[in-house]
Amino acid sequence: MKGLVMVLAVSGFLRGRKNGMKAFDAVQLDQTDWAIVRELEQDGRLSFKELGTRVHLSGPAVGERVRRLEREGVIAGYGARVDAARAGQPLLAFIELRCRPADCLLRTTSSDDYPELVEVHKLSGEHCTMLKARASSLSHLEGLIERLGAHGEMRTHIVLSTPYDGRPVEPTPPERPVTSSEGWGPRLG
């Protein structure tokens, strides 16, 4: 994957806590904001002048909107998209981890201890954490799995291929109706 990609946090950004939970307030985007986001997702290196031409605004007006989107956390940053396989890390794995409380990965280590981990997600359910890892070989992955085993039980999934990746952030589609469960209600009569 060549070129630059923009990291977006369109669903909202952290505003505070409610009842111990993180509260997110979605930023309201108009059609022009979405057009700007769409263009920058395709090419994060566009000049304000070119971006303005594409979304029918002047360079200064589009620059002001981009800075507002950055300030509000909608545009979270910019960076290069690197093809990990071509950079020597062809293996991708997802690892579900159920930590022992005393050995919790997130409490007892740092990202520097596991450079192979590119994403860490806290989960609800059977496993507490989902890890996304890159490795240069099966033996490299095996060593990572052995090191992670010190934290608890794991379930590892090696990615064979990725047929689809990189859906751009888009406006939320309209809510779809929920299927009725009439046949599962109490029987009367």
Cα–Cα distance list, 115 to 26, 80, 87 (Å): 32, 18, 15
Which pLDDT does position 19 carry in this prediction? 43
Pair (95, 70) in one structural domain: no
pLDDT tens-digit map of 16-65: 444 444 556 788 999 999 999 999 999 999 999 999 999 999 999 999 99
pLDDT beyond 70 at 159? yes
Q: State which of 17, 48, 80 marks the end of a domain.
A: 80
Has residue 184 been placed in a domain?
no
Range of the domain at 71: 4-80
Lowest mean pLDDT among 9-13, 56-60, 152-156, 162-166: 9-13
* Cα angle for residues 139, 142, 147 (degrees, 5° grid): 130
* CATH assignment at residue 22: 1.10.10.10
Q: State which of 50, 80, 110 marks the end of a domain.
A: 80
Query: What is the bridge-based pairing of β-strands 152-158 and 91-99?
Result: antiparallel
Number of folded domains that form the chain: 2
Which pLDDT does position 27 carry in this prediction? 87
The kind and range of the H/E element at 50 are helix 48-55
Pair (27, 67) in one structural domain: yes
Which pLDDT does position 3 carry in this prediction? 38
